[in-house]
A and B are shown apart, each in its own frame.
Chain A
Amino acid sequence: MPPGHPNGVRADRNWPLRFDFTTPMASAPATLTVDSPEVHDAHAHDHPPHLQHHFVSSEQQFDAAKMGMWLFLATEILLFSGMFVAYAVFRTLYPATYEACATALNTMQGAFNTLVLLGSSLTVALAINAIQRDDQKGLQRYLLLTLLGAAIFLVVKYFEYTHKFHSGIFPGLAFHPYGEEFGHLATVPYARQFFSLYYVSTGIHAIHIIAGMVVLSWVYLKARKGTFSSSYYTHVELGGLYWHLVDVIWIFLFPLLYLIH
């Protein structure tokens, strides 16, 4: 390198990160992958069919997809965090209201649903375990079981909702409780707000359950066609991660809404 430069380009100045020149250059490929739309198929035999052209290896593709999924889960957690913050704020402001209303919710239904969701989380984990061992039948069986768990959760939720609707417990301005079980809530100040939060947060959670069911059904259809194997099961893994997140959200929603007296 020229030691000095008439125009101020200082070749001799230490690059502040010079230790970094010890990169895995030695293992760098001597010939490089070349790609253009037309020639893509020409060397497709080099790659497994699921490998997209802009990735170098299946491993890179799988890692990227998984990291993307985790980032998406991060956004989901922050989405729900807004509702948790609203809950925490109003619980602090109106503690008596929140206690009275939480008592009115059916703890056993909530606990049952918690167990159902935990069980479906287990079956998704088992589905991934099955495909990692190339067990196609096991994968399909466990995916179906997961979908069944989701369906049970929604059915229980349906009965919870309709039971409340019959006593006039609606979200928002339509809230007008009556009857033996819920009538006393009419005198509790801001009870409407608790039930609105309840409906909004469990409602958005239920939408996520439905979305998860759609995703897992799609994965199941792909699994039936035999798309997946122990070397390629990205969709199962990502669908599973999403399903676990739905479970994680419920793990927090359940004690906050149903339990804390």
Chain B
Amino acid sequence: MAQTLTADPHAPTAHGHAAHPTDGSYNYLNYDKTFMSWAKTVDHKRIGLMYMVTLALVFLVAGLFAIALRTELIATNWTNYAAGEQDAAGTIMNANTYNWVFTMHGAMMTFLFLVPSVPAILGNFVLPLHLGAKDVAFPRLNLASYYFYIAGAVLVIASLFVGQLDTGWTFYMPYSARTNGSVTFLTMAIFIAGFSSIFTGLNFIVTIHKMRAPGLTWNRLPLFVWAMYAVSLVQVLATPVLGITMLLLFTERIFGVGIFDPALGGDPILFQHMFWFYSHPAVYIMILPAFGIISELMGTFSRQRLYGYRAVALSSVAIALLGFLVWGHHMFVSGQSAISSIIFSLITYLIGIPSGIKVFNWVTTMYKGSIWLQTPMIYALMFIFLFTIGGLTGVMVGVLAVDVALHDTYYVVAHFHYVMMGGTVIALIGGMYYWFPKMFGKMYSERWAKIFSLFVFVGFNTTFFTQFLLGAKGMPRRYWDYIPMYEHLHQISTIGSYILAVGLFGVLGTWIWGLMKGRKAPQNPWGAATLEWTHATSPPDPHNFTATPVVTRGPYDYYLADEVFLTRNAPSSGDGAAGDGSDGDVPQGDGSGDGAAATVVARPIVRDFKPH
């Protein structure tokens, strides 16, 4: 039997100065516990965790805005002006406040949460580990990008106190040139936060090109890395255009330069072109990393090599590049030329092809696989279900004739929430559960995680499926009030959002519980085959690997990784049953020999380890 790994992560080191234990007890979390060691860290794992905490706060604030919106919509305040009634006060807020709240919900969720979410948290944490690198290519730039993000976020928070921004997150001209002052604040905030995005993308591209471990060829990269590569391309190529758009909007407000303002000879549709040249690819910035996570989860929890590796990898890049050619489908009713709308509509269908390739390949991976329904896999399945609905309705609103009717209705709202929330956020939660043991060296409670995943699934569909129905019936988006015929569906949707909120708080609870009381995680609880599980301790060493790994196999060659897994984790008795694993603290064998591995390699050892 061929020895598949030439470098043993636990072998005595070449320099002979392994002064620290290499079992994970000395790790990136505890090697220095001072506050400044975190604030000034250049360690990609710590920066990932800092992003995680910050983004969780942003998500909480923006999510509470969403709950406030849903609560406002729970009852109609319909005013019968014909009968001489006065303006209603609203359920909990007046119309202006409502405009402000939906704008902040959209702007914060988009620019401060969804765009950075997966790359900043999981990309930072996992990418160098996947590559077998010690860090990203530019660690200091990585920290700088975090502080750029913080600066942007602080400005957004500050804008809450300057004035009630009511343009919607899209800042459409000419209204955004006329309304109150916090537009100026927000444009500056987004300009600055854009640097964070650009630096992260730039860093990842260079890291993937230049920092791969020996033997890790492009065709052996985990699909998460491929997805991060595609998304980084989009970040680098699209974000600057948002920057200049915000800069021009800024000058429009300050000087009245007349580039976008029709009253001064400008072209408001040009603003939409420039805005969507960024913001449509930004949709792929949000969803592509989620594809990467799902690819990892599908392979690992089906115990099966991912079907159509190359197709999935290249479809990520195809989506990234095609995503630049379709921005005009947001502008079908803006007044752009009809021939442009037709062309954009046509190219929009093309995006369906690589997306379909991915979904089919994930489903095929499960076929005859040994499916292990742990929480990450449950979220992966949830993702496929929700993303398929979101994606297919996306094709529907991409149809020019249909979109003219559905534009700016709840149908569109439901569509992009299925993709953004049902896609990105669900995948992010799944990925968080998956890498939680690696991040913190603790296991979460599988039982409670599964219970709350049910809340999330039911709550999400209750909230947003009703919105498809509302939109099809003609309920316009961004309306503070509605006529009584929509009331029942709005009520169901609002109740769904409460269930979803309970689910999401529950998810947070399982993580906090896991952090506080969770049992110690073994190095490779899922039997995964990528480097962070096979070669790094849980949690990893400050420098990721005690020795640079040498890669001799693909990322989903579980049957090859099994050997490593077994030689690390099998009981020293060499018992074919590989132990019951009930104590969870799988002994770290020292590679007691190929014999033990050979006897058990045919068994799905991974299933014998039950966290609960």
Report A-B touching, CB under 8 Å.
Answer: yes
* Contact (A200, B248) CB under 8 Å given A20-B220, A172-B256: yes
Is the Cβ of A83 less than 8 Å from the Cβ of B244?
yes
| A79 and B241 within 8 A (CB) | yes
Within 8 A of A (CB), among B11-63: 13-15, 17-20, 31
Known: A32-B547, A34-B18. 6 other contacts (CB 8 A): A25-B214, A64-B137, A68-B137, A71-B206, A173-B264, A200-B257
Q: Give the number of residue pairs across the A-B interface with Cβ within 8 Å.
A: 217
Give which listed residue, A13, A21, A189, A193, contacts B259 with CB less than 8 A: A193
Q: In whole angstroms, how far apart are the Cα atoms of A218 and B248 in the complex?
A: 30
A260 at interface (Cβ–Cβ under 8 A)? no
The interface residues of chain B lying within 8 Å CB-to-CB of A72 are 198, 202
A43 interface hit (Cβ, 8 Å): yes
Q: Are B310 and A17 in contact (CB under 8 A)?
A: yes
Bound-state Cα–Cα, A133 to B556, Å: 48
Give chain A residues whose Cβ lies under 8 Å from the Cβ of B239. Answer: 75
Contact for B17 among A24, A42, A82, A94, CB less than 8 A: A42
CB-CB under 8 A from B137, the residues of chain A are 54, 64, 68
Within 8 Å CB of B308, what residues of A?
16
Q: Mark the stretch among B76-84, B266-274, B399-407, B489-497 that contacts chain A.
A: B266-274
In the complex, whether A187 has a CB less than 8 A from a CB of chain B is no
* B residues lining the A interface (CB < 8 Å): 1, 6-7, 13-15, 17-20, 31, 133-135, 137-139, 141, 198, 201-203, 205-206, 209-211, 214-215, 217, 219-220, 236-241, 243-245, 247-248, 251, 254-259, 264-267, 270, 273-274, 302-305, 308-310, 368-370, 541-543, 546-548, 550, 552, 554, 557-560, 562, 601-602, 604
A67 to B251 Cα, complex, angstroms: 33
> Is the pair A173, B19 in contact by a Cβ cutoff of 8 Å?
no
B-contact bits for A54-75, CB 8 A (1 contact / 0 none): 1000001001110110011011
Whether B241 and A81, one on each chain, are in contact in the complex, defined by CB atoms closer than 8 angstroms, is yes
Q: Which of A9, A29, A37 has the most C-beta atoms of chain B within 10 angstroms of its own C-beta?
A: A9
Q: Which of B134, B214, B255, B274 contacts A174 (CB 8 A)?
A: B255
Is B248 in contact with A37, judged by CB distance below 8 angstroms? no
Chain B's nearest CB lies how many Å from the CB of A29? 7
Give chain A nearest CB distance to B321 CB in angstroms.
14
Say which size band chain A's interface belongs to. 35 or more
Quote the shortest CB–CB distance from A225 to chain B (angstroms). Answer: 20
Nearest Cβ distance between residue A202 and chain B, in whole angstroms?
Answer: 13
The listed residue (B6, B214, B542, B554) touching A15 by CB distance below 8 A is: B554
B211 neighbours in A (Cβ, 8 Å): 54, 60, 64
With both chains docked as a complex, state the minimum distance between the C-beta of B542 and any C-beta of chain A, in angstroms. Answer: 6
Docked complex Cα distance between A10 and B307 (Å) = 12
Tell me if A86 and B135 are in contact (CB < 8 A).
no
Determine the main DSSP class of B at the interface with A. loop
Partner of B15, one of A34, A89, A193, A204: A34
Residues B305 and A64 in contact, CB atoms below 8 Å apart: no
Chain A hits for B259, CB < 8 A: 86, 90, 193, 196-197, 200
Docked complex Cα distance between A203 and B547 (Å): 51
Assess whether A82 is in contact with B241, with CB atoms less than 8 Å apart.
Answer: yes
Decide: B214 and A28 in contact? CB cutoff 8 A.
yes
Interface set, chain A 170-212, CB cutoff 8 A to B: 171-174, 189-190, 192-193, 196-197, 199-200, 204
Main secondary structure of the interface of A (DSSP, over half): helix
CB nearest neighbor in A for B554: A15
Query: Within 8 Å CB of A189, what residues of B?
Result: 265
A2 at interface, CB cutoff 8 A: yes
CA distance A79 to B238 in the complex (A): 9
Smallest beta-carbon distance B592→chain A, Å: 20
* B20 and A36 within 8 A (CB): yes
Q: Per a CB cutoff under 8 Å, which of A25, A42, A90 touches B267?
A: A90
CB of B548 within 8 A of CB of A33, answer yes
25 contacts between A and B (CB under 8 A): A7-B604, A15-B305, A24-B214, A25-B215, A34-B15, A34-B18, A38-B20, A43-B15, A64-B209, A71-B202, A72-B198, A75-B240, A79-B240, A81-B244, A82-B241, A82-B245, A85-B270, A86-B274, A93-B267, A172-B257, A189-B265, A192-B258, A196-B257, A197-B257, A200-B257
CB distance from A155 to the nearest CB of B (A): 24
Interface status of A1 (Cβ within 8 A of chain B): yes
Say yes or no for A78: interface residue by CB 8 A criterion. yes
Tell me which residues across on chain A come within 8 A of B217, comparing CB atoms: 20, 23
Chain A residues within an 8 Å CB radius of B237: 74-75, 78
Asked whether, in the complex, the Cβ of B543 is within 8 Å of the Cβ of A36, the reply is: yes
Whether A68 lies near B274 (C-beta < 8 A) is no
| A19–chain B nearest beta-carbon distance, Å | 9
Residues of B within 8 A of A13 (CB): 305
Given A78-B237, A172-B251, are A68 and B206 also a contact pair (CB < 8 Å)? yes
